[in-house]
Structure formats: C-alpha cells, structure tokens
Copies of this chain bind each other. A is one copy, B any other.
Amino acid sequence: MWIAIEKDTKLSLTRQIYIEIRKMIIEGTLTSGQKLPSTRQLSKELGISRNTALEVYNQMIAEGYLEARQGSGTIVSSGLQELKIPISELCNSKKESSSNNDTNIIDFCSGIPALELFPRKDWTKLYTQVCNNLPNEAYGYCDPCGVWELREAIAQYLLRSRGISCDPRRIMITSGSTQGLSLISTLLQKQNKKVLVENPSHPGLLKVIASTGCVIETIPADNQGLDTNLLSSTRDVSFVYTTPSHQYPLGSILSIQRRLSLVNFASENNCYIIEDDYDSEFRYEGQPISSLYELNPKHVIYIGSFSKILSPAIRLGFILLPEKLLLDYKTLKNYTDVHTEALTQYALASFIRTGQLEKHIWKMKKHYSRNRTHMLAELSKQFPDGFEILGHATGLHMVVHFHNVTFTTQLVEELANQDVLIYPIEHYLVGTKQDHGNEILMGYSHLSFPNITKGIQILRNVIGT
C-alpha cells in the first residue's frame, strides 16, 4: 500500500496515514471486504513504528471504516455507501480585505470614541486583579441577566449621573445596546402591532428592529424631538423607539410637554417606549437631561451603553426593564447566548465601583469639548456667517446647516474623492422627504485637530465660494 508521508507538515504521521487510507476507501480504491496489510507489514512498508500502524487501524475501527475479523485480519467494512461528493481541499488562508483603513481619509462619521484614550493600563490592571480574586464559580455559566456586581454598580452610577433610581434586579446586562434593542424587539414583536420610530433615525438601528420581524412606521422629529402631536391617531402600537436626550441625528432634546404626552400615550395604549440614551454623558452645557424612564418606569425601557463612554470592543450595554417583562426577557436571553461575557463584566463593575469610569468620562468630555470648540472655530473661519448649528451641545457629533449649500450625491462623492467623508441628514430619513438638504452630521470625537482643520478646508474648497 503506497502512502506518501511528508515530513514538513503540521499533521502527525498517524493522521497522514489515516487520511490516505480513508481517501482510498471513500474513492473506492479499497472496497468493502478487502483485506488490509497487517500492522507489521504496514510498519515495514512505510518505515513507521508498529505502534503508529496500530493506532491508525484502531482509530479507523473505532470510526467504523475498518473491521477486525478474527483469523482474517483487518478488512474494509461493508455497507460504506459510496461518497458522491469530493473531499474538501485545503483552502488558502488569506486575510479578507478589511474595511478601509486608509489613514489619509478624514471621516466625519459619528459615534466613534477617541480610541487612543482607552485606559489600557488601568483596565488591564483591574481585569487582572478582579480575575485573580473571583470565586471558582465565576468561571462557570453565569446568570443570563448579567453579573450581579455590575448590575449593582450600574444602579449606583445611574443614580449619581442621571438621577435614575432603580432596582438592580431590573438592570439586564446586554452585549452592547444593539443586542438590547434586538432582544426587546423580538420580545415585543407581535402580529398586527407596529413599532413607531423617529424620523430621521439611525438606519442601522431601524434594521435591527426590522430584522426581528417588526413592522415599522415613522413619526417625524423636529427641533423639539419626536412630534408627539402626530401620535394621537395611532393605535395598535407595540413600542415607540426614541432618543429623547439627544435626538439622533438632529440633536434636539424632547421637550417636557412632549415627554409627558409620550409617557401618557404609552400608559393609555398599554405599549412601551424604548428610550435610547446613547450619549447623554457628554453634555457640554448644564446637567444631563432627565430620563423618560423616571416618568413612567412601567412603560419605559431604558437602553444604555458603554460603547461610547469606554469602548465598543468590550460590547457591554444594559437595559432597564419593567418588572412584567423580566421573566420572558431572561428566557429569551438564555436561548440567545446564555449570557454576556462575564470576566469583562466583573472588570467593568470594579471600574465603576472604584470611581474610574466617572474619572474617564470626565477626561473624555474635556477632550470632546475641545474638539467641538475647534470644529466650531474652523467652521467659522471657513464659512463666516454661512452656517448654523442645530441641536444641543451634547454627544460626539453636531448637525451643521449650511446656508446656500445643498448636499447632493455628486457633492458627497466629490468630497469622498478628496478623502473627506460627510453624512447628509437626508441619509437618515425614511420615506417622506423633509427639508434637510442643507444639513450634514459632523462627528468630532475621534478626529485630531489637524484633521478637523484639513477636512473643513477641503469642504470649503469643494463647495466653492
């Protein structure tokens, strides 16, 4: 029996011979009932040890390819249906072309924190300390609701930073806010019920909601947030998705009149409000806006995330759920991924408890505030009296209204050709046209001063005078 043995391979000798014999059986070179050489013969023939030969045969007997017959040695098993498809071939391992990492591009996108400021040293030190002190059980399966220490730390953090008082039992840890939104949508998705979302809105998040089977209807948002006057005639609502602290992308704050209308609408129609509070930590004037949740904890589901305030890579977020939904949620989360990664949860709990999170947010806020100020100064320099800022001074982006400029596809492309990416507000609109042609979203959180300057210069040049 001829079997080629290669020495420069990662496969063991046993494995190589096994693969070759199996190939012969599958391809029909060796047929049912056919006798194989004895292990003594095979070892001589191939110049391998008798043990290796024995190991191969035993393995193939265990798997049923071969049979050991008393007196007649080892034979190919009967009933091996001929394989009609070719055995897999070794594919070339080549890295996929990843997304554009061209560092020359100035991308005015929103929502990317200043990644270079991630507190690596403090974080890994804490992670090490925490992991070395955990009880053994912590390395096993954990509660689908999340690590208790983190839920408690978040409850205290919410009280300090947002004035939200809530029971940690209502705090569910999710793998980022996207998972929170996805699970809630799955939970609340019902036939003949619809989901209302703000328009404009984050297109990705609408897809998250739609991908769970929800039927979406939009409600326009303006400089006071979601227009609740347009809700009155709406019935059969499962939930309303809104960003009341900083409308995405417009940046408006939901007015208190509308807040009260909205929570009452939820009570009257027995539906839920999802309050996505994605960036209210970074408010550069005054205190954070109070939450909708406080006004109606039975009908408001609050979503928070650590992607913007710490890092998207750690995938940690949370939701505050009404008591009524807790059990169904827990079951769903359990069947989705059992629970969110636990060691990172323990580390974050400690990061919050020791006050490091708030210290970090404070540092980031100063950084973003400087970037924002720089962007405003550069805009004033390049477009004196030619623009206006919409929305409130919060978050990682601003919306800029340019007098006398319409952001056509052609203009956006021309800028992209010069390595500047901008985001017209019209891209965030669903269906019906609203009057946002002169407005773009401009993220500043992740950009350097020189890039902000250069990007706005190019914007100026391309727009012309």
Decide yes or no: A92 and B167 within 8 Å by CB, A65-B256, A120-B131, A340-B175 being known contacts.
Answer: yes
Q: Which residues of B contact A99 (CB under 8 A)?
A: 143
- Whether A124 contacts B115 by the Cβ 8 Å rule is no
- Whether B313 contacts A338 by the Cβ 8 Å rule is no
CB distance from A222 to the nearest CB of B (A): 14
**A137 touches B (CB below 8 Å):** yes
How many copies the complex holds: the figure is 2
Chain A interface size, as a band, is 35 or more
**A127 touches B (CB below 8 Å):** yes
Decide yes or no: A132 and B124 within 8 Å by CB, A169-B96, A296-B85 being known contacts.
Answer: yes
Decide yes or no: A121 and B132 within 8 Å by CB, A63-B253, A182-B335 being known contacts.
Answer: yes
Decide yes or no: A260 and B115 within 8 Å by CB, A341-B315, A344-B341 being known contacts.
Answer: no
From 285 to 299 in chain A, residues with beta carbon under 8 angstroms from any chain B beta carbon are 285-287, 289-290, 293-298
- Whether A159 contacts B124 by the Cβ 8 Å rule is no
Decide yes or no: A14 and B287 within 8 Å by CB, A85-B267, A342-B313 being known contacts.
Answer: yes
Q: Which residues of B contact A342 (CB under 8 A)?
A: 313-315
**A72 touches B (CB below 8 Å):** no
- Whether B341 contacts A62 by the Cβ 8 Å rule is no
Decide yes or no: A313 and B343 within 8 Å by CB, A131-B120, A260-B80 being known contacts.
Answer: yes
| Residue ID in chain B nearest A169 by CB atoms | B96
Q: Which residues of B contact A208 (CB under 8 A)?
A: 335
- Whether A256 contacts B142 by the Cβ 8 Å rule is no
| Residue ID in chain B nearest A345 by CB atoms | B313
Decide yes or no: A139 and B156 within 8 Å by CB, A64-B256, A175-B337, A287-B59 being known contacts.
Answer: no
CB distance from A443 to the nearest CB of B (A): 13
- Whether B179 contacts A260 by the Cβ 8 Å rule is no
**A380 touches B (CB below 8 Å):** no
CB distance from A267 to the nearest CB of B (A): 6
Q: Which residues of B contact A18 (CB under 8 A)?
A: 163, 287, 290
**A193 touches B (CB below 8 Å):** no
Complex CA–CA separation, A170 to B340 (angstroms): 24
CB distance from A12 to the nearest CB of B (A): 8
| Residue ID in chain B nearest A95 by CB atoms | B148
**A311 touches B (CB below 8 Å):** yes
Q: Which residue in B118, B137, B260, B294 is a CB contact (below 8 Å) of A139?
A: B118
With a 10 A CB-CB cut-off, give which of A59, A63, A182, A211 has the most chain B CB atoms. A63
